[in-house]
Amino acid sequence: MSQAHRIGVDMEAGIIRKHAQAATRDEVLSDFGEVTALFSLTAAKEMDDPVLVSTVDGVGSKLKVAHFMDKHDSVGVDCVAMCVNDIICSGAEPLFFMDYIACGRSHPSKFESIISGISTGCRLANVALIGGKTTEMPGFYSDSEYDLAGCAVGLIDRVKCIDGRNVKAGDALIGLGSNGVHNNGFSLIRRVLRLNERCVKEYVQSLGSTLGDELIKPTRIYTRAVLKLKEIVPINAICHITRGGLIEGIPRMLPEGCGAVIRRGTWDELPIFRLVQWEGEITDLVMFSEFNMGIGMIIAVSGEYADTALKSLKDLGERAYLVGEVCDGDGLNLC
């Protein structure tokens, strides 16, 4: 290894260590940079049947927006959010996160921005950043390109798992407001809005910002609010609205024999979605199949707990809406 490359490796290790120390937990047993990462499961001793919950995800083509804007911290938050939001759908508490960055050539300032965003996401989710991997792949990626993915692990007592089996007709469906597009549908957005380095810098009156600033907003992390809500009311099911949008996402949380009614107008459909629909002449069905439409997560609770859940979520800083209810049948009825 050349001296110049050795300096680069040491510098990156220092950057990661600094941000990992800002996003840690008492259970972390290993120093960042070791070949393996160690995390204590002492909390499992208090559980009758402890279950580990894991997931892996990436940022996808939203990275193109980051590239056009030369802004890379928010996609680090996205990477964490996509994982931890999935884990809490089971009711589990996310514990730790690990990242993977592949690039054509490592750029220190860009690298630190990415890791800074990952650390921010971990702190928002109260998870530890315990390890990661950065790989240079010249010739596979251009010098300015990179890919970003990560994995998270959580823990729950099996008897407390949220799996949808208690969902029934009459349950209230509560939506948590999104922070915009979040992380899905960017292939369609890139095509419809013909994204490039110039147009992302244009101010759009209806958005109150540049197009790029709107699109780069990080995925909202719902971990703390949902875990707190679990202590207040029984939760029957949770769905993170990602692939398939509301149309495909909500039915995934429901048991056989149950469908859902979702009422438009009960929440704020954000201006970015109106812009995309107008520019692309896209039908409502496609929009609700591709995007979260302003709702990043759906929580099902028994009707008797709806008011308490709504108030509690709002007190926790969430934009919470009663968006519909579970019904007999199957699929999603959007009205």
**CATH code: domain of residue 66:** 3.30.1330.10
Across residues 96-101, what is the average pLDDT? 94
Q: Which DSSP symbol is given to 35?
A: S
Whether 165 is covered by a domain: the verdict is no
Q: Kindly state whether residues 226 and 310 are assigned to the same domain.
A: yes
Q: Kindly state whether residues 176 and 28 are assigned to the same domain.
A: no
Whether 52 is covered by a domain: the verdict is yes
Q: Kindly state whether residues 234 and 121 are assigned to the same domain.
A: no
Q: Which DSSP symbol is given to 60?
A: G
Q: Which DSSP symbol is given to 43?
A: G
* Residue 196 burial (10 A CB sphere; 0-12, 13-18, 19+): exposed
Q: Kindly state whether residues 179 and 115 are assigned to the same domain.
A: no
Looking at 160, 195, 229, the residue that finishes a domain is: 160
Q: Kindly state whether residues 68 and 208 are assigned to the same domain.
A: no
122-157 pLDDT, tens digit per residue, is 999 999 999 888 889 998 988 889 999 999 999 999
Q: Kindly state whether residues 155 and 194 are assigned to the same domain.
A: no
Q: Kindly state whether residues 156 and 198 are assigned to the same domain.
A: no
CATH code for position 261: 3.90.650.10
Whether 167 is covered by a domain: the verdict is no
Residue 237's nearest CA partner among 329, 171, 178, 182 is 171
Contact assessment for residue 327 and residue 169, using Cβ atoms and an 8 Å cutoff:
yes
Whether 148 is covered by a domain: the verdict is yes
- pTM (2 d.p.): 0.93
Q: Kindly state whether residues 29 and 150 are assigned to the same domain.
A: yes
Contact assessment for residue 215 and residue 192, using Cβ atoms and an 8 Å cutoff:
no
DSSP helix/strand/coil, 128: strand
Looking at 160, 190, 207, the residue that finishes a domain is: 160
Contact assessment for residue 92 and residue 227, using Cβ atoms and an 8 Å cutoff:
no
Whether 89 is covered by a domain: the verdict is yes
> Which residues 6+ apart lie within 8 Å of 299 measured at CB?
173, 174, 175, 176, 226, 229, 235, 237, 238, 309
Q: Which two tokens stand for residue 295?
A: 């709702």
Q: Kindly state whether residues 327 and 187 are assigned to the same domain.
A: yes
Domain count, the chain: 2
Q: Kindly state whether residues 190 and 320 are assigned to the same domain.
A: yes
Give the whole-angstrom CA distance, residue 291 versus residue 62.
13
196-252 pLDDT, tens digit per residue, is 999 999 999 999 999 999 999 999 999 999 999 999 999 999 999 999 999 999 999
Please report which confidence band the pLDDT of residue 176 belongs to, taking 50, 70 and 90 as the band edges.
Answer: very high
Residue type, position 2, single letter: S
Q: Which residues in 197-219 are b (16+ Cβ under 10 Å) and which e? A: eeebeeebeebebbbbbbbbbbb
Whether 166 is covered by a domain: the verdict is no
Please report which confidence band the pLDDT of residue 109 belongs to, taking 50, 70 and 90 as the band edges.
Answer: confident
Give the whole-angstrom CA distance, residue 47 versus residue 319.
33
Q: Kindly state whether residues 120 and 192 are assigned to the same domain.
A: no
Whether 289 is covered by a domain: the verdict is yes
Q: What is the extent of the structural domain holding 71?
A: 3-160
Across residues 29-48, what is the average pLDDT? 84
Across residues 45-54, what is the average pLDDT? 95
Looking at 160, 195, 216, the residue that finishes a domain is: 160
Contact assessment for residue 106 and residue 141, using Cβ atoms and an 8 Å cutoff:
no
Q: Which two tokens stand for residue 100?
A: 């993977």
- In this prediction, residue 8 carries a pLDDT of 43
Give the whole-angstrom CA distance, residue 101 versus residue 315.
37
Q: Kindly state whether residues 96 and 243 are assigned to the same domain.
A: no
Whether 91 is covered by a domain: the verdict is yes
67-94 pLDDT, tens digit per residue, is 999 999 999 999 999 999 999 999 999 9
